[in-house]
Structure 1
């Protein structure tokens, strides 16, 4: 403390900041070290004071966020995010590092979550930017504040904000639900499902559909809304209490818009007490959660978002030659995508950025200058590569960490413990994880990820290349941790205290709902086996058996059967006892085979096409099961369908084809049936449907079977013009689905009048064969 301050009975300094800004953060840290306060007050939920102690933990690494949620309704939640370049975080770290008492001074989360939070009015920073000749508030703040570290800027900011507040409209006292535009706002609220995003305008207020030449909307005025006045009243009350508790040198860190309202003299407390009286409250719980840079970006929908968190982090952490080091990072990103970028490119880009800054009378090149230099020199005008740099660097991605001793629900603690045991790291970037289900650790990872998906925590999503139908020992996942998952874990905690118990309880609850049929129950059973939820299997199997016994719709059973058989196969791979499910699968197949002949009569084209796809899927599943009795039972019912004259031609053609593939019909039998279907007694549409069913999606049969090809070719050649016009749409769809090589081979065979697949040569050349044998012997190292 300086001699001038020694006899001062009390001094308060207000530091108006932007909630995420490296210049503000650096200037604030310097200002605090110069002022040396004995108490620090920070804009943030006042009921989060007990959590300040965790900021001193070595395992606490920003970006992090204070999470507040309604204890009985976790979906109602709010975040207060902090990055390393957030002034509030630097104020917290200063206080903790210097053993200075620190408190949050904004409305408690219990009142924030109870309020009807709405935003209105203009951004105060936009007004200042316009006055400075900028059309972009972000660029103005970046150029004027973030590119410097001057403690004197705080007084100028307060003066500017005070002048703006004098022109602001004060909201009438009767409206109690509006939120200020605070320039940047520090709270990110998770809305209820179906709510409009914060600040969204109702569709009916924009103008009716078809209104001619709607008038351009008037710019919103600056507003001192009632919620802002309430927040500032609470901040003043906390400031008064700190003074009453003996603090003499108080530093207040708040959003720049609030700074003028907290300056001395504070005025009488009675008016503030009246504003705060009777505010609604809820029971709220607070904790620290990891956050990401991408969630600090304005594009994420965060109200206090910034456009360039990665750039701001760089400015804060790189104090020596920040432009050169930034463009070096840009070059590294481009080289990582196989673009030739040399040191000469970097040097020229630095020169261009600095020249642009000098021409624009700026003390240091900002993001706009380095972006233009990147576009012109490093990307050579390629906007695609510039967007890549923007996503990977300008926004960037980093996931913070919180100490394990931070308050949490038991389910979150169990998840952390399991992830640590399985060496699964929560990361913000997408990472591909290949699992071999024959390894114990990999199968445990698969179980955890499936359980979390069931709970709505999609940390991992199955990759597009995952093979489920045949490759049952492999799984591929894409992992990415999102900050919102913290809320979903808290929501899921009502189902149980561990991930396994919670997943079992939720899947059983879902299966017990009245609307759950065989399809939904089959999907739930698949999930239960993939996630290994033994406590849910018996209940699900019993429920599925009951539902299948009373469901008389064959299409429902036919749609569910492949899932049941797939579940049997996955259960075998994962070592799960599925003997009870085998009985359910067998009984479902018996009912399908008994009811299918009656269910296929009198079908229209669309229904027949849908049933054809179900027959294909069921046939594949039954053959994959490799159970002789089931396969025989299925092929028998298909043979009955193939002989029925009252079945749609699409289905008859497909059953004949399936029976051919199963070696029940040989080529001659298939040709005989095709010839009968193309006979004079049938209509052109019926013939086309039979052909579509027989060869649809499987053109190789015509490539390799000359007799069948000649039958189809002869039928097509004999169509009249009217008949051809009638069937051409169906035929185009049928033959258009073939692979290009299949279509080419069929066309060549028809054109040349010869089989598309040449016969294997029968003559051999002994001399050439001997040469090949000698070469193989040399490769293997054996005497010829």
Structure 2
């Protein structure tokens, strides 16, 4: 039966259904569907999608529903096993759904039930699930709770790897028409041509004939599940024809239309469906984003330019002019000088390019070339911004509150409203002041979600502040977080109870001591006081049994950082202080034996442990828990023993001496004497180089010690110039690693000093540090000019010059405001 004599519209019981084959997320298909439904006025609209979602159809017309959205199906007993059916405002299925609701016509989904789809064997789903990438209806994005794998082009609509025989219908049609780009062919064949004069069904007739020819040649095209899905759809179409006396319209992927048109017996279709696995599923609407509709996200049925397609669908006229005006507005917001003349010239260029390329209208390729040449002056940097913000876009849909959701999701929505923390598709930074109640609540919510495995944001460095009262987050709401929240619902019905239960379970399952201490830190950050007793009990048990100094040293910093949070978060940390002090005491006892007879790699790792413990002890204070004595004094004794023990590797000895010097526990003269001994001719060059790396390595002082202390610099210079030629090549890599870690300004200054030579440095007693700009004596007038700024920084109490520093130090260190968690 050809397109000319095929029945197109039925009013009687025997009339053929109106089959509208579409491209998923195709604005041209969406316009054609609307025109065809207006012309045919069917009594029921059948749409490719999971039939369990029929009860959710009325929500599509709710006031709070804003596409893009997606139908989410997940297994009741295993929420992580889930699938999505995304719909944008320009998706033909969404247009059909809204047409039915606006005209009071029933709308039903007729694809294979999600209960079967999610129960299908995971391995089979990875290779046989879904429709073609471009000519098909919405598809589930995977069975493990995440959208498709973004790696590689050989993915199906569900994200699984496809066999080589699996074809892309639009790619085949584009190649047949002489196009090397299926997207450009689709624009020319559909988007730029409209529905045709007086015949709303002409696009569907042409596309059905093309797909029919393809299916005669390729069969199911490598889509192994299609025969089963199409059998189920035929059964549903037959039932609708009987119920509605033939007034049936079907909106489905164009690839399926020939199979739905083909005559098949009911018995044959039911035989294909016999024995399919089945599980219990729940469905709901969830917000989606344009970015997740793009093919670059890994969504197999995705498109290259969701933002561009949305514009084509919504622009009433002059789409090129409106698009380029939108681009100009974006570039002006970013500070680029783009005028109306630029827009006019870009429009002219886009039209000229389209004419030269033989296209009916300028497409995305022509408008992008025009923007690059006219508005971006050939630069790809602003053009990348246009692609990200407009061509793809960060539009985030909305779902009404009455949509079904697990209790945990409802509690999350309540917290989002109370804390005024709205999900957004674009990435943004959020700075929090933990002294404010609302910001503290936001911080706890974000930390709890991370603990639950649904990270709404990631912590970032706070610009201009190292205080523990401030946090900075990078937030971006991804649609799959809805799956993660549903999956986390097994831990509790509220975010607080679920995070508490998850933390307790993680503590029991933790393998190492560092995992438990990190978990204790996260519990304090998330405000989970009921989880702390379990975590602290397991922490104390693990600490008592663990004898490895390295693991103890790894665990201590996180524990000490957690102690700091009590200052601004109001959490009780007494139990933490007791465990931390005990952990530090065990490290003091075992560190010296653990640093003996180490090779270079083990010594470097131990140096990092020493740095971490030193910072932790500094934050702990003298006696954080009664009965543990002066921790700082005991730690300095350990450092002295490390710096003087010949059996300890040079990098550890040098670092221990440097830490003592920085703490003021070692006189400069004593440090100079120790350095002279370490760099004496009797010391092997490799050992001396290791000692230098530990003492002036970039990690603990950035070389400023050598810049400002001529005596130490002279010792290094004397040692280096005295290294025998045969040993110099052995120590050079270590020295290069040491000095390469310095900041550029420090390296430049040291290089200038080396160029001038020691004889021109002068002496510290007569010329200060021997650097240009430093006088022998203090310039009192220049120093006095700084005092007003110092008083301003110290605040009230420091304005009269008396007690300001003391008051400021007490206020800052006591509240933790200006003292970072890492010291």
For the aligned pair, the TM-score class normalised by the smaller chain equals 0.7 to 0.9
Q: Is the 8 A contact 1:54 1:60 kept in 2?
A: yes
Aligned ranges 1:688-727 → 2 under 5 Å: 688-697=689-698, 698=701, 699-727=703-731
- Does 2:237 match 1:239? yes
- 1:627 deviates by 2.7
Structure 1 distance, partners of 2:117, 2:564, is: 51
Cα gap change, 1:666/1:162 in structure 2, threshold over 3 Å: closer, same or farther? same
Aligned ranges 1:536-575 → 2 under 5 Å: 536-575=531-570
- Counterpart in 2 of 1:157? 207
- Does 2:651 match 1:650? yes
- Does 2:496 match 1:500? yes
Q: Is the 8 A contact 1:422 1:441 kept in 2?
A: yes
- Does 2:500 match 1:486? no
- Counterpart in 2 of 1:306? 303
- 1:482 deviates by 0.5
- 1:762 deviates by 4.5
Aligned ranges 1:618-629 → 2 under 5 Å: 618-627=613-622, 629=630
SS at match of 1:664: coil
Cα gap change, 1:141/1:739 in structure 2, threshold over 3 Å: closer, same or farther? closer
Structure 2 distance, partners of 1:242, 1:740, is: 75
Aligned ranges 1:232-631 → 2 under 5 Å: 232-263=230-261, 266-465=263-462, 470-513=466-509, 516-627=511-622, 629-631=630-632
- 1:366 deviates by 2.0
- 1:259 deviates by 1.5
SS at match of 2:711: helix
- Does 2:93 match 1:88? yes
Cα gap change, 1:493/1:467 in structure 2, threshold over 3 Å: closer, same or farther? farther
- 1:614 deviates by 1.5
- 1:560 deviates by 1.3
Q: Is the 8 A contact 2:11 2:245 kept in 1?
A: no
- 1:364 deviates by 2.7
Aligned ranges 1:39-58 → 2 under 5 Å: 39-58=44-63
Cα gap change, 1:712/1:761 in structure 2, threshold over 3 Å: closer, same or farther? closer
Normalising by structure 2, report the TM-score.
0.83
Among 723, 732, 736, the alignment partner of 1:732 is 736
Q: Is the 8 A contact 1:39 1:247 kept in 2?
A: no
Structure 1 distance, partners of 2:780, 2:664, is: 36
Structure 2 distance, partners of 1:339, 1:167, is: 53
Structure 1 distance, partners of 2:478, 2:786, is: 59
- Counterpart in 2 of 1:756? 770
Does 328-337 or 652-661 show the bigger shift? Answer: 328-337
- Counterpart in 1 of 2:173? 128
RMSD: 2.5
- 1:636 deviates by 1.8
Structure 2 distance, partners of 1:262, 1:748, is: 81
Aligned ranges 1:659-698 → 2 under 5 Å: 659-697=660-698, 698=701
Q: Is the 8 A contact 1:745 1:756 kept in 2?
A: no
Structure 2 distance, partners of 1:276, 1:226, is: 14
Deviations 1:16-39 (A, max 9, x none): 111111111111112111111111
Cα gap change, 1:244/1:700 in structure 2, threshold over 3 Å: closer, same or farther? same
Structure 2 distance, partners of 1:29, 1:133, is: 30
Structure 1 distance, partners of 2:577, 2:616, is: 14
Q: Is the 8 A contact 1:43 1:104 kept in 2?
A: yes
Structure 1 distance, partners of 2:471, 2:348, is: 49
SS at match of 2:422: coil
Structure 1 distance, partners of 2:287, 2:394, is: 12
Q: Is the 8 A contact 1:236 1:266 kept in 2?
A: no
Structure 2 distance, partners of 1:270, 1:726, is: 83
Does 425-434 or 360-369 show the bigger shift? Answer: 360-369
Normalising by structure 1, report the TM-score.
0.87
Structure 2 distance, partners of 1:765, 1:465, is: 35
Task: Name the count of aligned residue pairs.
Answer: 714
Structure 2 distance, partners of 1:424, 1:770, is: 47
Cα gap change, 1:37/1:614 in structure 2, threshold over 3 Å: closer, same or farther? same
Deviations 1:528-547 (A, max 9, x none): 00001111111111111111
Cα gap change, 1:166/1:609 in structure 2, threshold over 3 Å: closer, same or farther? closer
- Counterpart in 2 of 1:168? 218
Structure 1 distance, partners of 2:44, 2:654, is: 84
Aligned ranges 1:21-36 → 2 under 5 Å: 21-36=26-41
Q: Structure 1, unaligned stretches of length 5 or more?
A: 170-179, 181-221, 774-784
SS at match of 1:259: helix
- 1:756 deviates by 2.9
Deviations 1:384-416 (A, max 9, x none): 433332222111121111111111111111111
Structure 1 distance, partners of 2:694, 2:358, is: 74
- 1:630 deviates by 1.6
Cα gap change, 1:544/1:146 in structure 2, threshold over 3 Å: closer, same or farther? same
- Counterpart in 2 of 1:184? none
- Counterpart in 1 of 2:805? none
Structure 2 distance, partners of 1:6, 1:484, is: 43
- 1:243 deviates by 1.9
SS at match of 2:225: helix
Structure 1 distance, partners of 2:79, 2:207, is: 38
Does 399-408 or 155-164 show the bigger shift? Answer: 155-164
Q: Is the 8 A contact 1:433 1:477 kept in 2?
A: yes
- Counterpart in 2 of 1:69? 74
- 1:6 deviates by 7.2
